[in-house]
Amino acid sequence: MLELLSRQRQFLLYLAGGVASALIDVGLMQFLIYSGVDYVAATSVGFVAGLVFNYGYHATVTFTAPPSGRSMGRYLAVVAMNYLFTLGCVALSVHLVDMALVGKLLSLPLVAINGFILGKHWIFK
């Protein structure tokens, strides 16, 4: 029972960090787009800002593993994969409905699930 509660707590912490990261990411992206910045650049800047917060939060809070070069390298590999996926979703969304936000929001749950699984079993292990 305690193990189940511990897993739930860890997942809830992960979700809280993900929500904060997403708010930073999407909020900055939208602000930049509305300020006249191209959607590709705006998506990239928002993604990097969310990335920096996300790594620090998950290393210290969610998975309680001290940040290291090894975990950072693995994290960046997962981020690169998630970044390409996110950018593809945003580009497709802009092409289909002329709105970057739709693609960004659709990519978030898939990126989150991938990040939790790889964070728990590979990045911070």
pLDDT single digits (tens) 18-68: 899 999 999 999 999 999 999 999 999 998 999 899 999 999 999 999 889
Q: Which residue has the higher pLDDT, 1 or 102?
A: 102
**Burial (CB count within 10 angstroms: exposed 0-12, middle 13-18, buried 19+), residue 67:** middle
- 120 or 8: which leads in pLDDT: 120
Amino acid at 38: D
Q: CA 123 to CA 34: how far, in whole Å?
A: 35
Q: What is the pLDDT of residues 57-115, one digit of tens each?
A: 999 999 999 889 999 999 999 989 988 999 999 999 999 999 999 999 999 888 888 88
User: Within 10 Å of residue 56's Cβ, how many Cβ atoms?
Assistant: 12
